[in-house]
A and B are shown apart, each in its own frame.
Chain A
Amino acid sequence: GVAEQLTPVLLDGLTEESLQLVSKLKDSSSSCAVDVSTVWWEAAGSKELCVVTACESSVSLWKPLASNGWEKIYTWQLREVPVIQIVPLPDTCNLVCIALGDLEIGEIRLLLYSSENDSFKQSLVRTGNIKAVLGLKDRRLVSSSRTVCEQQVEVVSLSETGRSRDGRTLMPPEETVLAFAEVEGLQDALVGTTAVNGVVVWNLRTGQLLKKMHVGYSYPASVCHQAYSDSGLLFVVLSHPHAKESESCGNPAFRVVAFNPKTARSTGVIFSSLPAGHTGRYLEGDVKDACAAAVLTSGAVAVWDLLLGRCTALLPPGPQGDWALVRWATTTACLLAGQRNGTVCLYQY
């Protein structure tokens, strides 16, 4: 369980100097890694940025060592329902949130350490047919769930000990909400993307559904990752797992779309595609600030500057196989890239 020493590498082509391997960890007990994330963890008076790795039946917390290696602190066992994803909670400490289920999310749990009885614990936050979940600032969690007749969109506040306090219901649209994103520059706003390629905007404070806008038919199944409010416009970062390649913009993994929420009109602003000569479609990815990273069908990881629409780094598949996961740490200075065998590489960006 102890990580390997760092091995700096230089990457080929456009990637030189932009991504540098800092350290690597390998969960030898992991059969099939499903997600990776980071969390601030405070123990014995020292607060450190730790790595969280998840496989289907367990979630492990890793602490950095002085030697650039990693030590596993604890593993939570989750044997009844498979883990689907880690749900990062921004600005929180000593709290890991996970989504579990079979084909779709059936429950959300918190993993934590209780100083009251000096033990690691887990607690159930909610159950249901959950379609989307996002950790919000100020230790809140928003999720959409669906029954045959109705959809519920709920924001839950979490206490320091993990127990959920009072929840607020947001007004649901008719269409199923499949992803959420917070809006930078507008504290009380939340956006979501729906199953029919719509973008919806809520007021988190009042629960009102403010606007429904359409992304357009050229990019089906768009998923929102991040939004920014500026100069009276709402800029939404969307990924396009099913986008068709076009001559004008190649094969866009991400697109920044400007919406005028007053009129619901929109226009594509910046396309983030692979540079000429590289192939691969978007499989999964992560966006933080103006940086986007994605795993591609080619098994590579690509990184873009969303403001320039330019691919700034490309990580080819490793000697042990394709990349499966890519996440930003709490800042875009650190990128985590994972393989299905449980290997996680930390890169400085």
Chain B
Amino acid sequence: CSESDLGPISLNWFEELSAEAPS
């Protein structure tokens, strides 16, 4: 699958989403 299908990919998605999500 290419990046264009899925949008920009981040290797640190888990940490980034944890920083953004309400706690």
Binding site for B on A (CB under 8 A): 171, 186, 188-189, 201, 203, 206-211, 229, 231-234, 258-263, 265-267, 269
Contact = CB atoms under 8 A, between A and B. Distances in A.
Q: Which of B7, B14, B22 has the largest number of chain A CB atoms within 10 A? A: B14
Nearest to A264: B7
B1 to A, nearest CB: 5
B14 A258 contact: no
Contacts of B23: 206-208
B18 A260 contact: no
Contacts of A229: 14
Contact of B10 (A232, A259, A266): A232
A57 to B, nearest CB: 43
Contact of B8 (A171, A208, A231, A262): A262
A269 B11 contact: no
Q: Which of B5, B8, B13 has the largest number of chain A CB atoms within 10 A? A: B13
A260 B14 CA distance: 11
B14 A208 contact: no
B22 to A, nearest CB: 7
Nearest to A268: B1
Given A207-B23, A232-B13, A258-B1, A267 B18 contact: no
A260 B16 CA distance: 13
Sort A-B residue pairs by CB-CB distance and give the 8 closest, nearest first: A263-B7, A232-B9, A260-B6, A210-B17, A208-B21, A267-B1, A232-B11, A261-B13
27 contacts: A171-B22, A186-B14, A203-B17, A203-B21, A206-B18, A206-B23, A207-B23, A208-B22, A208-B23, A209-B21, A210-B17, A210-B18, A211-B17, A233-B6, A234-B13, A259-B6, A260-B13, A261-B14, A262-B17, A263-B6, A263-B7, A263-B8, A265-B5, A265-B6, A266-B6, A267-B1, A267-B6
A233 B18 CA distance: 16
A262 B6 CA distance: 9
B17 A201 contact: yes
A206 B16 CA distance: 14
Contacts of B9: 231-233, 260, 262
Contacts of B22: 171, 208
Contacts of A232: 9-11, 13
A234 B14 CA distance: 10
Nearest to A186: B14
B6 A258 contact: yes
B13 to A, nearest CB: 5
Given A208-B22, A210-B21, A262 B5 contact: no
A132 to B, nearest CB: 21
Nearest to B11: A232
A261 B18 CA distance: 11
A186 B9 CA distance: 16
B18 to A, nearest CB: 5
Nearest to B9: A232
Nearest to B2: A267
A259 B23 CA distance: 23
Contacts of A267: 1, 5-6
Contacts of B6: 233, 258-260, 263, 265-267
Contacts of A233: 1, 6, 9
A201 B11 CA distance: 16
B7 to A, nearest CB: 3
